[in-house]
Every structure is written in C-alpha cells, then in structure tokens.
C-alpha cells in the first residue's frame, strides 16, 4: 500500500510545522520537515534565487525517502509549490526547472494553513516582517491555476487537527 501524501502549505508562521508534527504523532506516521530550515541553519544565510531549485529538489528527495517507509500517510511540511511561490514573491520570477518540478509533483491531499495564528519572526529562516498577505495571494493564484483541490485549515491546533481528521476521513 502506498502512503497518501499530505501536502501542508501556507505562508511563513502559519503553523505548517506544528501541524505536520502533531499529525504525525496523532496518526503514528512519518512527517517530512521543511528542508529550507536546515539549509539556512547550515549555511547561515537566506537562500538566493539560484538556491531555489536545489531546495525544492532536496525537499522532494527527502519526501521520497520517507515515502518508502511511510504507512498510511506521509505528512509533508511544505512542497516545491511553496518554493515556487516564494521565488515569485522574492525574485519576481521562477526558474524553469523549479516550475517543472512543482508541476510534476501531485499530492493526495493539500492542506492550506490559514495565517490566523500570531506571526513570529524566525531569524534568518523567515521574513523580518509579516509577508503573509502577499505570499497567500500568490499561493491562491497558483492553487487555482493548477486546479489543486485543497482544504483550508484554521484556528488553534486542536481545531486544525479536527479539520484534518475530517478531511482525511473522506
């Protein structure tokens, strides 16, 4: 049986990582952390435009490794689509390889985390100020243009978990 891949997307500080960890614990399944965090920590800098494809490729490679060990679900804390969204936001364009990579990966369920929890800056990893509105506008455009069905997840963690449980039970 192949695990259902659950994509968790949304702007910075929208609770993606917290939700992925909580879902993995609740279902006794694996989750794939966001590689961008590791990239920033190990290189002590924010990514440049030329890093975007590498970040997305590494994210997918780790996702594929985890999928080989996953049970019923694999919770993915971000996707190449988010890397594409951030490329559009910060650099005003998207590398052709990144666009192709983002288009090639499909998920069984996509969860869109609403930016309705307090925004917290994360040092080098994230923006020095809240960019949620701009990022979410681009993300909404991309989800619509790609006809990606998604479930909007909002509220405190316990409410978010109930919403995901309902979505996964369908």
pLDDT at residue 123 in the model: 61
* Count of other CB atoms within 10 angstroms of residue 3: 18
Q: Which residues of 46-72 are buried (b: 16+ CB within 10 A; e: fewer)?
A: ebeeebbbebbbebbebbeebeeebee
For CA atoms 137, 63, 27, 167, the dihedral sign is positive
pLDDT at residue 132 in the model: 87
Confidence of residue 16 (pLDDT cuts 50, 70, 90): very high
Entry pTM? 0.94
pLDDT at residue 120 in the model: 74
DSSP character for 122?
Answer: -
pLDDT at residue 131 in the model: 86
Q: CB within 8 A of 1, min separation 6: which ones?
A: 72
**pLDDT tens track for 117-164:** 887 776 655 555 678 889 999 999 999 999 999 999 999 999 999 999
CA distances from 36 to 18, 58, 73, 83 (A): 15, 9, 22, 9
Q: What angle do CA 56, 71, 139 make, to 5 degrees?
A: 35
CB contact at 8 A, 11 and 135: yes
Does CATH place domain 4-169 in 3.40.50.300? yes
Q: Would you kindly state where each structural domain of the chain is located, as residue ranges?
A: 4-169
**pLDDT tens track for 64-117:** 999 999 999 999 999 999 999 999 999 999 999 999 999 999 999 999 999 998
Helix (H) or strand (E) holding 100: helix 96-104
């Amino acid at each position: 049986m192949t695990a259902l891949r659950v994509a968790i997307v949304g702007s910075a500080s929208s609770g993606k990582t917290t939700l992925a960890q909580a879902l993995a614990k609740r279902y006794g399944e694996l989750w794939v952390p966001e590689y961008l965090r590791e990239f920033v920590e190990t290189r002590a800098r924010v990514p440049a435009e030329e890093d975007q494809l590498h970040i997305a490729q590494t994210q997918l490679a780790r996702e594929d490794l985890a999928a080989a060990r996953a049970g019923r679900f694999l919770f993915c804390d971000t996707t190449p689509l988010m890397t594409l969204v951030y490329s559009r936001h910060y650099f005003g364009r998207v590398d052709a390889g990144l666009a192709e990579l983002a288009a090639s990966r499909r998920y069984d369920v996509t969860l869109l985390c609403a930016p309705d929890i307090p925004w917290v800056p994360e040092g080098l990893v994230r923006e020095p100020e809240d960019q949620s509105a701009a990022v979410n506008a681009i993300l909404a455009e991309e989800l619509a243009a790609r006809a990606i069905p998604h479930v909007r997840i909002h509220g405190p963690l316990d409410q978010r978990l109930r919403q995901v449980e309902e979505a996964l039970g369908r």
